[in-house]
Amino acid sequence: MSTTGSLPIPGAAPARRGSPRALGLAAGLLVLLAVLVLSLGLGAKQLGPAEVWHGLLDPDAPGYTVVHRMRLPRTLLGLLAGAALGLAGGVMQALTRNPLADPGLLGINAGASAAVATAVALLGVSSFTGYVWWALAGAALVSVLVYAVGGGRGATPARLALAGAALNATLYSYVSAVMLLDTASLDRMRFWTVGSLAGARTSTVLGILPFVAVGALLALGLARPLNALALGDDAARALGARPAAVRAAAIVAVTLLCGAATAACGPIVFVGLMVPHLVRALTGPDLRWLLPYCAVLAPVLLLGADVLGRVLGRPGELQVGIVTAVLGGPFFLYFARRGKARA
């Protein structure tokens, strides 16, 4: 490097910033790995990292049953659902140009819940494979509705949040009505509506895998066109993106991700809000970095909250949806007070 002070080349700057971001992503993956080990190890029976390792690989190891039967499905579910919610939040915030967009706050999870409640009460659906299609249908319906309301230029964060909250209230009053009319559904639904990873089965994990995978690929593929859309529709068109098609694809991605996550874990709020926010501070607004970071760090949050719930709630456990609500709520309040999201 010469000391003559060369002029900064505009095109070179992102490439130079790119490598710290890649390093950051690698660091994020390491943190994720650590949380995965914690999630496999902590619980009624504590296992150290070495025991987790043996339990995973060696069928004769003492921890094999615990790890494979209970903690592995639960951990993998947290990984998938967390990534799904984080990506969905990132895409929604870009799509609505609204920093407060969150699939939980805007009612998409509630839409999935309402559909599942209908299926449970009217059709006696009780298996996950039954839930998932209903959840997707409900999520799709509300996504379209929220987008119709919040996609406009005049939509301020506070007003969009209000519309979402009102939608949430309607849908949950419907869910509680269903629970009321049928005690059997109440017993099943009251645990599901809290949001929990407990009781995860391998079949559930495999069940949501295709939906999350397709949704995640779609979301990541949309990073560049959504970036273009952030410049405005005309600029986006000039850059070769088709705004209507991009928006439609983004809604499909959000629906797949939220519907699958909600069907498997129940409605979980704030993960999709918090993670993209925190990540934006690390990566900047470029979705090509923001979305992969979300996919890595959202599971860290969700699994971390799940582990925390297992530690705090002893001898039972606190459901992960409660932990994220209690963790995420103050974050949201702080953010609201800061006035960044002023209407």
Partner 1 sequence: MKTLRVARFSVRYRPRALAVCAAAVLVALGTGVLALGRGDYPIAPGEVVRTLFGGGSAAEDFVVNQLRLPRVATALLVGAALALAGALFQTLVRNPLGSPDILGFTQGAATGALLVVVAGGSSAALAGGAVAGGLATGVLIYALAWRGGVQGARLVLVGIGTAAILTGVNGYLLTRTQLMDAARAVLWLTGSLDGRGWDQARPLALALAVLVPLVLLVCGPALRALELGDDAASGLGVRPERLRVALLGAAVLLASLAAAAAGPVNFLALTAPQLARRITRAPGPNLAASMCTGAALLVTADFAAQHLFGERQLPVGVVTGVLGGGYLVWLLATQRRAGRL
The DSSP annotation for 58-76 comes to -TTSTTHHIIIIIIHHHHH
| Distance, CA of 228 to CA of 322 (rounded, Å) | 37
Q: What are phi and psi of 321, to 5 degrees?
A: -60, -35
CB of 326 to partner 1, least distance (A): 6
- Residues in 315-334 that interact with partner 1 by CB under 8 A: 318-319, 321-322, 324-326, 328-330, 332-333
173 binds partner 1 (CB under 8 A): yes
Q: What is the enclosing helix (H) or strand (E) of 133?
A: helix 128-150
Q: Sign of the CA dihedral 109, 111, 117, 120?
A: negative
Integer Cα distance of 64 and 68 in angstroms:
6
For the CB of residue 195, give the shortest distance to partner 1 in the complex, in Å: 8
Q: Enter the tokens of residue 182.
A: 């049928």
The yes or no reply on residue 106 touching partner 1 (CB under 8 A) is no
Nearer to partner 1, 72 or 303 (CB): 303
Residue 225 preceded by cis peptide, ω within 30: no
What residue spans of 42-107 are helical by DSSP H? 49-57, 64-65, 72-96
CA separation (Å) from 90 to 32, 37, 165? 19, 26, 19
180 binds partner 1 (CB under 8 A): yes
Cβ nearer to partner 1, comparing 79 with 269: 269
Are residues 249 and 83 in contact, defined by beta-carbon separation less than 8 angstroms? no
For the bound state, the minimum distance from the C-beta of residue 111 to partner 1, rounded and expressed in Å, comes to 12
Q: Does the protein bind partner 1 through residue 186 (CB under 8 A)?
A: yes
Question: Interface with partner 1 includes 276 (CB under 8 A)?
Answer: no
- Of the candidate residues 72, 77, 88, 161, the single one contacting partner 1 (CB under 8 A): 161
CA 191 remoteness from chain centre: 19
Q: Which of 23, 166, 217, 231 binds partner 1 (CB under 8 A)?
A: 166
Q: Is 230 in the site for partner 1 (CB under 8 A)?
A: no
**Piece in contact with partner 1 (CB under 8 A), picked from 23-31, 135-143, 178-186, 199-207:** 178-186
**Could you tell me how many residues of this chain bind partner 1 (CB under 8 A)?**
58
Least CB distance to partner 1 at residue 240 (A): 30
- The reply to whether 342 sits near partner 1 by the rule CB under 8 A is yes
Out of 8, 11, 240, 339, which residue is the one contacting partner 1 (CB under 8 A)?
Answer: 339
- Measure the CA–CA gap between 192 and 131, rounded to whole angstroms: 11
Torsion of CA 233, 255, 173, 193, to 10 degrees: -140
Instruction: Name the amino acid, one letter, at 68.
Output: H
Q: How far is the CB of 272 from partner 1 (least distance, A)?
A: 12
251 belongs to the binding site for partner 1 (CB under 8 A):
no
CA distance 312 to 6: 56
Q: Which residue lies nearer to partner 1 by CB, 36 or 161?
A: 161
Residues of the shown chain interacting with partner 1 in the complex, contacts defined by CB under 8 A: 100, 104-105, 145, 148-149, 152, 154-159, 161-163, 165-167, 169-174, 176-177, 179-180, 183, 186-187, 190-191, 193-195, 269-270, 318-319, 321-322, 324-326, 328-330, 332-333, 335-337, 339, 341-343
